[in-house]
Structure 1
Amino acid sequence: MKKPVAFLLSLGLCFPVAAPAAHAQPSPAQLSSLSSMGLGLDPATIESLNPLDDLGRPKQQYLDQARTFAKTAPLPEQFRNAILSAVAFYEGGGNGGVEVPQTGPKFFQFHWPTVATNCIGGSLDSVGSGIAVPGPSPIPAPGAKDGETAFVFTALGTGAVRQSQMKVHWVNLSELRMGQISLSDHGLNPQGPATVTGTAVTGKGTIVAVMEGSVDTIEKESDARCSFIPTAAVFEVK
């Protein structure tokens, strides 16, 4: 486990993911309240300190810092490549993503991409992306009812799913209960990239979710098992 921990530490230097994402950002009234508390910061200044954009992704200045860090810090090559892959993913340079409909349901992106080494064709790294879709929503399959959350994980650049060991561990902070679900193939991207989904009865309130595990993929060169380091999200189910 030393390698994933080291990678998370290095990635954490680049992406301050502890900051609130878009769905958790203070409202204008709350920002004004913070300013009136004697902090000496107006709402615009407070907003500028948030490192994430309206989808919970790092802003460009932090992506630039991550790229510089990866290129100049004395990192093992696989960590350097993983960080650069994450930057490319956020900047739109990743291949084989999932098309998100403009009129689709509201979703929350997991706070950082995850990486599996020796994944694509058994030799190249794959960047994984996770999203959470609070119900009620018919998509993504198998859909989510009121008080449920659908989770989606995509291993970018890979072939189709052969088998999935991906899991989501979740905690409802409002109702003080927790659970775990497995993500499996429900027909999304049947030709690849490998995409697995699952629905959890999370209830309503503030949800903390951790996504982790592996996906076995069908590749042209040779099948592969892609083991991804954990990624996490915090979001609201209303």
Structure 2
Amino acid sequence: MRFARISRTATLVAAFAVTGALIAPATAHAEPATTAETPSEQTIPLPDKAPDVDPEILKSLGTFAPALLGSVATRDENGKVDTALLDHARSLADNPAVPKQAGATWRSLIDFLGEPGKQQAVAAGAIPAAKRDAARDKDAPNIPTGPKKPRIQQFLYPTLGFGCMPGNGNSVGMALATAGPQSAPAPGPKRGQAGFVYTSLGTGPAKASSAHRLYVSWLNLENGRTGQTALKPNAKINATKGPGTFTGIAKTGRGRIVSTVYGEVTTKTKGRTISCMIAPTIGTAII
């Protein structure tokens, strides 16, 4: 049983583990642009200004992730989380040598992964909608208002796309999840499904590439289901002017979801088609 749980999370852990290895200059691939542009039809909330991303913090997160994910994969005979491993992970997060922002991020994830009933985010629907909206609006005050506004759950931290800008400049990447049923990201996840969105801020519109692909790997903590979903350009989201936005919908089932986005993005930026690698980023969501 324990081996099976570890094997189901192997892809997720591996994706997290490479984060630190990516914090170095990367070579972007550029080629002539050939695809036509399609009008945008749906707005996904974005910050007014790209947040700062510290490469050293990303590196520390990538180093810490495998140990933390191991605490999820290692369960006792009753299928419960090994709390001793979680306690050890918390002690690592509290180490003064860990950057303050990184430690806070990992403590948040540890709380999310803990035993059901010991923290607010314990099961599907456990966080009241009003509290979810308040937390979300605090982080992204420009989110559209009204009954049709998307209900989003931001990933834990922004990340970097290496060489995603002309001149080999880096872009800031942001990811979010949505719980169905709702319309975002188009065509919209149904009940028991999760929608995932990755946006490469500052770039032009996303472009499909069979050689350079972007993925989200996810794990449902309630039912043990795991999977890998490709994130692709969406003709209904930021398709004309950008920024490069990639989406996918996964049949995760209801419950607490831990996920990571990783791989490469391809955009048409300032007349050039550029493919570049991103440092993985972690997300938690209630579906």
TM-score, length-normalised on structure 1? 0.64
Q: Deviations over 1:149-195 (max 9, x none)?
A: 11011000001112251111001110011011001111211121100
Aligned length: 175
- In structure 2, what is the Cα distance between the partners aligned to 1:215 and 1:17? 25
Deviations 1:88-120 (A, max 9, x none): xx899xxxxxx6322323211000111012211
Q: How far 1:216 sits from its partner (Å)?
A: 1.0
What one-letter code is carried by the residue in structure 1 that aligns with 2:216? V
In structure 1, runs of 5+ residues without a counterpart are: 32-52, 58-89, 93-98
Report the secondary structure of 2:107's partner residue: coil
Q: Does 1:199 align with 2:287?
A: no
1:1-238 matches, within 5 Å, as 2-4=21-23, 7=56, 8-10=58-60, 13=99, 14-15=101-102, 16-20=104-108, 54-55=135-136, 100-103=143-146, 104-163=149-208, 165-187=213-235, 188-190=237-239, 191-220=241-270, 222-237=272-287
C-alpha distance in 1, partners of 2:166/2:159?
18
Name the CA distance, whole Å, in 1 between partners of 2:185 and 2:229: 16
CA displacement at 1:139 relative to structure 2: 1.8
**TM-score, normalised to structure 2's length?**
0.54
CA distance in 2, matches of 1:189, 1:109: 18
Runs of 4+ aligned structure 1 residues displaced above 4 Å come to: none
- RMSD over aligned Cα, in angstroms? 3.2
**Which residue in the other structure is 2:95 paired with?**
none
One-letter amino acid matched to 2:262: E
Q: 5+ unaligned residues in a row in structure 2: which ranges? A: 1-17, 25-54, 62-97, 120-133
**More displaced 10-residue stretch of structure 1: 193-202 or 217-226:** 217-226
More strand by share: 1
SS for the counterpart of 2:23 is helix
Quickly say closer, same or farther: Cα 1:108–1:3, change in 2 above 3 A. Answer: same
